[in-house]
Amino acid sequence: MGDPASLGGEPPPSFEVLHAASAEEAVEKLARNRRIDALLFLDAALAAETLALLAEDSAVSPPMFYSGPGPAPAGAAEVPPGDLFENLGLLYDAGCS
């Protein structure tokens, strides 16, 4: 969640990308769609705000990942540089196995 142009290309077919422009929109999309397996943030401020809202609601959330400038906010794993979707898939698989 952040600037979609930052993704660096089309996601592979195994990824479905939903976009949210605000923390409130991200939390709303999570509430409506429990099939979301993971969240990827491209903006640290949006990530921190979303994570805070989820903590306030005591909501169960999927794994959180961050790919952007600066360090990952607390509660989100940093996706290393390189192929974004490949690295995200590897991190997700490692955390879910």
Mean pLDDT score across all residues of the chain: 79
The pLDDT of 13-33, averaged and rounded, is 83
DSSP assignment of 32-97 equals: H-TT---EEES-HHHHHHHHHHHHHTT-----EEE-SSSPPPTTSEEPPSS-HHHHHHHHHHHHH-
Task: Look at the pTM and tell me if it is higher than 0.75.
Answer: no
With 50 as the cut, is the pLDDT of residue 4 above it?
no
User: Tens of pLDDT along 43-83?
Assistant: 889 999 998 988 887 767 788 888 888 898 888 888 887 77
Sorting pLDDT into bands at 50, 70 and 90, what band is 34? confident
pLDDT reported for residue 1: 47
